[in-house]
Amino acid sequence: MTKSLVISVDAMGGDHGPSVVVPGVAQAATEAGGLRFLLHGDETAIVAELAKHAGLKDRVEIRHADRVVAMDEKPAQALRRGKGTSMWAAIESVKGGEAAAAVSAGNTGALMAISLLILRMSVDVERPCLVVQWPGVSGVTTVLDVGANVDCDAERLVEFAILGEAFHRAAHGMAKPTVGLLNVGSEEMKGHEEVRQANAILRSGKFDIDYRGFVEGDELFQNKVDVVVTDGFTGNVALKTAEGAARYIGGELRGALTGSLAAKLGALLARSGLMKFREKLSPDAAAPLLGLNGVVVKSHGGASARDIAAAIRMAAKLAQSDFATEIERNMTRLTAAVAEQQPPAVDGAA
C-alpha cells in the first residue's frame, strides 16, 4: 500500500454516522498500515469516537463540517445547500488532490449529484453508474448499474459494459473479464429494443472486451460471466431483492437454530461456518461510482463498521489502479461504433 495514500471519509454519512464510520476506519487502518484519513463532519462527535480507538488518532485529520446531507434529502436540495456539508467536503478533498478517493454511506442521489458537480465525468462518459460485487458459487460478479440511472439506451448499456470490465480488472487483477447483458432470455430476439441494440454493438468486435451475450436473472449467483450489465431500475430491484432474500433466509435459519436446546447447541458448534455463510450471502456493501474524474465509493445507509472498512479497501484499490486509461480507450471506440450505426443524412433539397 502506498504510504502517502489518503482516503477522504464522510464521517456523518449513513444511518449511524461517526459511531459506525470511525470504527470502520479503525478496522481499515489495521488492515492497511499505509493508509491515512481525512474525516469530515462534527468534530466533537468524531473526537469522542476516536478516543475509543488507540493509535488511530495519529493517522486521522479531522475537518469540521457544520451540516449533514439528510438521507431523505432530494439531490437538487443537496446541491443547493451542499457546501458546508460533510459529504461535499469529502468529495472536494479528492478534487483538490488532498485525497486519492472518497467514501460515504450517505444519501445515494445526493452523493451522485455532488460528485458529478465537483469531479465531472471522465472523457466521453455521459453518466456515472453504481457497481456492486455480487456473491456467487465460485467468486463474485460485478453488476452494474444498480440504481444511478433508471432509464438507459443502448449506448449507455455499452458504456456500462466498458466501465464494468475495466473496474473488474482493476478490483480483481483479472486479465480478461467476461461480460454479459442481463435479459429475460438468452435468445438474440429476446428483450426490449435497447438491450438488443446494445447486444449488437458489443458483438461488433470493435471493443477489447470478451462479450458473452445475454445472462438471465437466475444466473446472477452462478458466475456465468465476470461482469453483468443492466439499467439502474432493473439492477436496483435485483439488488434489493437479493438483500431481502438474504435477510429472510438468515432470519429463518436463526429461528430454526434457536428453536430448541439441541438446535442452539448445534448452532454454537457451527457458528464460524454460519458467519461465513451470512457474509457470503449478501452483495458487497462497497459500491463505487464509476465514470467520474476521481474515485468515489458508496456504502449503504445501514452500513456496519465492517461495511465501511470494505468500502475503504475498495477505494484504496481503485485509487492505485490505472483503469481510467482502459475506459478512455474503449469509450473512443464506442463513439466510433455508434456513429457508424447512424443512418446517412438526407439532403432536404433533393
User: What is the C-alpha separation between 240 and 35, in angstroms, rounded?
Assistant: 32
pLDDT score of 2: 43
Q: Which three cell numbers stand for residue 86?
A: 460533510
Poorest-confidence range of 61-70, 263-272, 320-329? 263-272
Pair 177, 250 in one domain: yes
* 102 shares its domain with 74: yes
Quick one: how far is CA 261 from the chain centroid? 42
> Mind giving me the DSSP string for 59-106?
GEEEEE-SB---TT--HHHHHHT-TTBHHHHHHHHHHTTS-SEEEE-S
Specify which of 103-117, 132-146, 231-245 reaches the highest per-range mean pLDDT: 103-117
Backbone dihedral angles phi then psi of residue 127, each to the nearest 5 degrees: -135, 145
Specify if 339 maps to a domain.
no
Instruction: Please report whether residue 327 resides in a domain.
Output: no
Helices (H), 107-153: 108-119
Number of domains comprising the chain: 2
Low-confidence winner among 25-34, 44-53, 161-170, 237-246 (lowest mean pLDDT): 237-246
Question: How far apart, in Å, do the first and last CA atoms of the chain sit?
Answer: 65
Please tell me whether residues 20 and 117 are part of one structural domain.
yes
Q: Residues 201-245: pLDDT tens digits?
A: 999 877 778 999 999 998 988 889 999 999 999 998 988 888 787
Q: Please name which of 311, 302, 243, 312 lies closest in space to residue 278, comparing C-alpha atoms.
A: 243
In a domain, 83, yes or no: yes
pLDDT in tens, 53-90: 988 888 999 999 999 999 888 989 888 887 899 999 99
Residue 257 lies in a domain: yes
Burial degree of 88 (CB within 10 A; 0-12, 13-18, 19+): buried
- On whether residue 350 sits in a domain, the answer given is no
- Residue 337, C-beta contacts closer than 8 angstroms, at least 6 positions apart: 158, 201, 204, 206, 207
| CATH code where residue 267 lies | 3.40.718.10
How far apart are alpha carbons 195 and 190 in whole angstroms? Answer: 9
8 Å CB contact between 126 and 160: no
Residue 29, φ and ψ in degrees, nearest 5: -65, -35
DSSP state of 209: -
Is residue 342 one of the residues assigned to a domain?
A: no
Do 275 and 316 lie in one domain? The reply is: no
pTM, two decimals, is 0.80
Mean pLDDT of the chain: 84
Domain residues for 115? Answer: 1-122+291-305+312-320
* Alpha carbon 319 to its chain's center: 14
Torsion of CA 46, 51, 57, 62, to 10 degrees: 20
Looking at the chain, how many residues does it have?
Answer: 350
Task: Kindly state whether residues 109 and 84 are assigned to the same domain.
Answer: yes
Furthest-apart CA pair in the chain: how many Å? Answer: 88
At 101, the amino acid letter reads A
Please, which residues bridge with residue 64 across strands? 41
- Cα separation, 142 vs 131, in Å, equals 7
Sorting pLDDT into bands at 50, 70 and 90, what band is 282?
Answer: low
